[in-house]
Structure 1
Amino acid sequence: MLAQSQPPQAVPADLDGRHNYPVLISLFNQLFAARLNTRLVLGDHEPLYLPADDDCGYHRIIFAHGFFASALHELAHWCVAGEARRQQLDYGYWYIPDGRTAAQQQAFEQVEGRAQAVEWLLARACDFRFQVSVDNLTGEAGDSSAFKQIVFSSLQQLLATGVNERVGALVATFGQHFGAENMLDVTTYCVEQLD
């Protein structure tokens, strides 16, 4: 994998001008490069989390192909991962690629629900449309309405118990930059908002 610290010349065609990944990289790195030795990095291939090692002295959250949504998704996984997980390649999580059985998909959705709830908060803070992802295009995706309910319930629980410091800092910083409001008000969310 080749990770770049500088954005390429071409910007993906799906960006609207406000939602471009260099802004996310800058905002994230201002918050966490020094404090938690972690940087958001544009990648050329699949997303990946790489802890600091002998070749690179800082942790890297690598997102795919310059897509704003990919960056938000990878940030959400980083926000959910605890300290020990952030010392492991891809947080030490198992991952069965696209093509999962119904049972494997159900296990995936139980784990993924919390991360996508955080992603929803981050997207709202960026005034960016959030879409749930069952991430199983060639397998047995199951009932997406059930997964939407998992994400919504995870969001409700997260807001009821309070977000962690990393989520809070990102939500506040993104909200200020993008002019978003009510990101942490549970009454502004409903399951019907999920695509």
Structure 2
Amino acid sequence: MQETFTNKPNVDELINLFNQLFFERYNTVLIKGEEEPIYLPADNTSPHNRIVFAHGFFASALHEISHWCVAGAKRRELVDFGYWYKPDGRTAEEQREFEKVEVRPQAYEWILSVAAGHRFHFSADNLSSEIGASDHFQENVLKMVHGLLDHDLPERVGMLVEALRIHNNREPLSKNEFKL
């Protein structure tokens, strides 16, 4: 039996677990970064795809993993999956666009967070504009979580949830654990 997480989820344990699950099959590694997060496909500097999360933060690792889980095979060949990103300081309209594309990744992140025993926080990723995650966005994420739990999780999310659940000696996830 694997050792459980310590009092708070340990990012090094998460890195090891992720890399054990996905290195061989997807040629992808999770890396603790010092700067902003980024996804880097294999290139002439590294033979491996790299999910680099910010500042060693557990939540950042789960968030970046979630984006990787959303991305299809073609997107995983592109830096940052080829997604549009507008940095902090978005307008209200730009924030609405951000929220449209963040529902699925944040639903995955919430599910992974619960499986890991880590507290989930909605991310508006727009601190300087003081525009937080809208109620509508939070409701949409919750609906997606409940829908995902009613059906089989996508393969990569399901693999990691199961590994985290076993690693933490916990029961299968329940919709009752996800409330606003």
Is 1:58 the equivalent of 2:48?
Answer: yes
Pairwise CA distance, 1:17:
4.5
State the distance in 1 between where 2:108 and 2:171 align. 16
Report the equivalent of 2:97: 107
State the distance in 1 between where 2:172 and 2:177 align. 7
Pairwise CA distance, 1:141:
1.6
Report the equivalent of 2:3: none
Report the equivalent of 1:8: none
Identity of aligned residues (%): 50
Indicate the structure with greater helix content: 2
State the distance in 2 between where 1:72 and 1:189 align. 17
| CA separation of 1:127 and 1:143: change in aligned 2, threshold 3 A | closer
TM-score (norm 2): 0.91
1:1-195 alignment, distance < 5 Å: 17-139=7-129, 141=131, 144-183=134-173, 185-190=174-179, 192=180
Q: Which amino acid aligns with 1:125?
A: A
TM-score (norm 1): 0.85
Pairwise CA distance, 1:140:
5.7
Pairwise CA distance, 1:187:
3.8
State the distance in 2 between where 1:138 and 1:50 align. 27
Structure 1 runs (4+) greater than 3 angstroms displaced = none
| Kept in 1: contact 2:41–2:78 (CA 8 A) | yes
Pairwise CA distance, 1:20:
1.5
**Count of residues in correspondence between the two structures:** 176
Pairwise CA distance, 1:121:
0.6
Mind listing any 5+ residue stretches in structure 1 that lack a counterpart?
Answer: 1-15
> Which structure exhibits the higher relative contact order, with contacts defined as CA atoms closer than 8 Å and separated by 6 or more residues?
2
State the distance in 2 between where 1:82 and 1:162 align. 18
Report the equivalent of 1:12: none
User: Any idea what the Cα deviations from partners look like across 1:34-63, whole Å, max 9, x if unmatched?
Assistant: 111000001110000000011100000000
SS of residue paired to 2:108: helix
Aligned CA RMSD, in angstroms, stands at 1.7
Pairwise CA distance, 1:150:
1.7
Mind listing any 5+ residue stretches in structure 2 that lack a counterpart?
Answer: 1-5
| Kept in 1: contact 2:126–2:132 (CA 8 A) | no
User: Any idea what the Cα deviations from partners look like across 1:76-118, whole Å, max 9, x if unmatched?
Assistant: 1111111111111000100001110111100100100110000
State the distance in 1 between where 2:127 and 2:155 align. 34
